[in-house]
Amino acid sequence: MRRPFDFPNPVNEVAARTVAAGVVAMSVTYLLTRHPLVLAPLSYGFAARVASGPRFSPLGLLATRLVAPAIAAPRLVPGPPKRFAQGIGATLSILAVVAHAAGAGAVAVAAVGAIAVAASLEAALGFCLGCRGFAILMRLGVIPEHVCVECNDIWSGRRLPADRTSSTSA
């Protein structure tokens, strides 16, 4: 049984890409309107997904429960790199909130722009910048191997076997 703040491993990449598409929509909305209320669900969603995957994220729940199952069979990938990527998104989105509140609109726009670029790559191409960063940090020994044993060959782009019994959430 999953505890409330466990992150799923493996993760359904279809759901992760669906979440990324929602993040792109929110990011572009902010970039076009500069309305600070858009930053609230963006930041909350990242923080919630870092804490527990989709469990407390409305966008994550929509992606894992409705959209992803309707569009494709699950494609399982290791969870720790996806959590790392969500952490980067949380950091950038919280930076955007603080910057916007402090009147540093250019910083907020740059942070949300970076989120939009990364989320667009994930949503459209399945290329996860945060996951690549995670892999580099593993190769450099910054992230120990025990954090993600499945990640030792993350550069190959291979998927995990479909018969894994862990959660398949984003």
Q: What residue ranges do the domains of the chain occupy?
A: 11-156
pLDDT of residue 165: 39
Q: Report residue 163's pLDDT band, with 50, 70 and 90 as the boundaries.
A: very low
Helix residue spans in the chain (DSSP H):
13-33, 39-52, 58-62, 68-71, 79-101, 105-120, 129-139
Average pLDDT on 79-84 reads: 96
Q: How far apart are CA 64 and CA 49, in angstroms?
A: 12
Q: How far apart are CA 169 and CA 135, in angstroms?
A: 21
Q: How far apart are CA 83 and CA 76, in angstroms?
A: 14
Residue 168 scores a pLDDT above 50: no
pLDDT of residue 91: 98
Residue 87 scores a pLDDT above 60: yes
Strands 11-12 and 76-77: antiparallel
Query: Which residue would you say has higher pLDDT here, 170 or 142?
Result: 142
Average pLDDT on 27-34 reads: 98
Q: Are 50 and 90 in contact (CB under 8 A)?
A: yes
Q: Report residue 124's pLDDT band, with 50, 70 and 90 as the boundaries.
A: very high
Residue 126 scores a pLDDT above 80: yes
Q: Report residue 162's pLDDT band, with 50, 70 and 90 as the boundaries.
A: very low
Residue 157 scores a pLDDT above 80: no
Q: What angle do CA 11, 60, 139 make, to 5 degrees?
A: 40
Residue corresponding to tokens 């959660």: 167
Q: Are 169 and 64 in contact (CB under 8 A)?
A: yes
Q: Are 45 and 60 in contact (CB under 8 A)?
A: yes
